[in-house]
Amino acid sequence: MNPKRVTVIGGGPAGMMAAIAAAQAGACVTLCERQAQLGRKLAATGGGRCNLTNTLDVETFMSRFGTEGRFMTGALRRFGRDDLLRQMTEWGVPCAAADGFHYFPVSQRAMDVLQALERQLKKLNVQVRLSTVVSALDLVAGRVCGVVAAGARLPADAVILAAGGAAWPSLGGCGLGYDLAIQAGHEVVEPSPALVGLVTRETWPRLCAGVTLPDVMARIDLPECRKEVWRGVLLFTHAGLSGPLMLDISGPVTRLLRRQEQVPLRLSLFPDLSRETWNTRLAEWRTGRGKKSVRNLLDESLPQSLATAVCEACGIDSAVRASGMTAEARDRLLEWMTALPVTITGSGGMAQAMVTHGGVSLRDIHPATLESRRVSGLYVAGEVMDLDGPCGGYNLQWAFSSGWQAGALAQRGEG
Ligand SMILES: Cc1cc2nc3c(=O)[nH]c(=O)nc-3n(C[C@H](O)[C@H](O)[C@H](O)COP(=O)(O)OP(=O)(O)OC[C@H]3O[C@@H](n4cnc5c(N)ncnc54)[C@H](O)[C@@H]3O)c2cc1C
């Protein structure tokens, strides 16, 4: 029997892994990538170090993707974290979670992950076509028969759509995968930027640009959002706020910004210190340490630029002593220390988003096989789907797991 012909659209982590899995299973594989290189985004992940997965158990891992997380069960069972790590080790890229959570290559080089995938593609005789845009699917009577690339028809028994999302276009993000899914009759949930830095209306965060706080809690200060809280590292930037904490909250915030001009947030800079503790502390400052300036006392708990910004925002002159603080200033300071208000007016947009929220609706994809319910022989993998996780190796693990699942099953399906 002739080997099955599988064409993969997109040479990111999902597409490369899909091509490897299909070729390992015996298929004759062609991989089309519209850019001149494979895996440009992959090479930039984790600040060039590639945080490819994390230590969470499968259930918790899936829960971090929200209500749709269970869709990943089949793919994670077939090719989960341990499979990915074992495979990377076999391919000469051992990985470790030095901090007990984030897995990186021991070499700390994303390029090593990319080159290992490229070596496998070569070894398995995958035909890689670079600078090749797939402009359409070749569909006949509810079945995919190939793709149209560079004006020519490329016949295939199965096609894997792994074209990624629209995020970070300078590294390859584009909406072309959505157009192909729509051509196949799929619904696309409106794409919006996620894992992106936020712009504040207040200018004071900019004065603290570069300052990082390791453990901050944040919530969206709107009645319908009060239940959910986020916790993590906060970074002040020239535009406002970023760091893993803000990247994680950015998805819901940017979606709210589609219907309102600004989104109020509250930040707890000391999540383990209660309002009562701060109340007592401020009272002690006034009585026991009254000769010291409020600014100097704040310096004991906050980086200098942030202490200055807090004083200015609370209307406390830098020379004011703790004993001379007005009741009004004290109340404001108490609020800032326990639930600091900031107003988000924008984000870095798709240009600076690490992932896309939205994409090809999961409703029309079989979770067990990742095959389209609309067109037989068409499989979907990676970020092009309506699934996105927070910072911390979630999105790459999903790209690799779904790629493997789609590749292994595309080779097996009826052709
Ligand atoms: C700066 C940055 C850092 C990140 N760091 C991390 C991290 O450390 N850990 C983590 O888990 N996630 C990280 N991510 C997210 C992660 O990189 C993505 O979720 C992941 O790359 C998605 O893989 P993918 O293969 O689905 O899509 P992509 O990597 O986007 O690959 C899709 C490919 O398809 C090609 N393509 C699109 N349309 C066509 C077409 N019509 N024809 C041919 N080719 C096409 C594109 O050019 C692209 O190369 C980061 C993202 C960015 C931008």
Residue type, 215: D
How far is residue 385 CA from its own chain's centroid? 13
Confidence of residue 317 (pLDDT cuts 50, 70, 90): confident
Expressed in angstroms and rounded, the spacing between residue 174 Cα and the centre of ligand 1 is 10
pTM score of the predicted model:
0.94
Residue owning the nearest CA to atom 34 of ligand 1? 10
Residues 6+ apart with CB under 8 A from 318: 293, 295, 308, 311
> Poorest-confidence range of 92-106, 303-317, 366-380?
303-317
pLDDT value of position 226: 83
On whether both 238 and 320 belong to a single domain, the answer is yes
> What single-letter DSSP state applies at residue 199?
E
Expressed in angstroms and rounded, the spacing between residue 129 Cα and the centre of ligand 1 is 17
213-253 per-position pLDDT tens digit: 999 999 999 999 988 999 999 999 999 999 999 999 999 99
On whether both 202 and 187 belong to a single domain, the answer is no
On whether both 213 and 315 belong to a single domain, the answer is yes
Residue type, 189: V
On whether both 207 and 326 belong to a single domain, the answer is yes
Domain end among 294, 316, 347: 347
Q: Is the pLDDT of residue 415 over 50?
A: no
What is the Cα–Cα distance from 70 to 390, expressed in whole angstroms?
Answer: 15
Nearest-10 crossing angle of helices 13-24, 110-123? 30
Q: Is the pLDDT of residue 414 over 60?
A: no
On whether both 236 and 279 belong to a single domain, the answer is yes
Phi, psi of 39 (to 5 degrees): 55, 40
Residues 6+ apart with CB under 8 A from 71: 362, 365, 367, 387
Placement of tokens 């030095």 in the chain? 98
Name the residue range of residue 89's domain.
5-191+356-412
> In what side-by-side order are the strands of the sheet with 378-380?
127-129, 28-32, 5-9, 158-161, 378-380
Counting ligand 1 atoms within 8 A of each CB, the residue from 395, 398, 400, 405 with the most, and so the one to mutate, is: 395
Expressed in angstroms and rounded, the spacing between residue 256 Cα and the centre of ligand 1 is 25
Q: Is 164 exposed, middle or buried (0-12, 13-18, 19+ CB in 10 A)?
A: buried
Domain end among 347, 377, 392: 347
On whether both 171 and 203 belong to a single domain, the answer is no
Residue owning the nearest CA to atom 22 of ligand 1? 383
317-336: average pLDDT: 89
Q: Show the ligand 1 pocket: residues with CB < 6 angstroms.
A: 9-15, 32-35, 41-42, 44-46, 50-51, 133-134, 162-164, 167-168, 171-174, 176-177, 354-355, 382-383, 393-396, 399
290-316: average pLDDT: 90
Classified as helix, coil or strand, 140 is strand
Counting ligand 1 atoms within 8 A of each CB, the residue from 40, 354, 357, 405 with the most, and so the one to mutate, is: 354
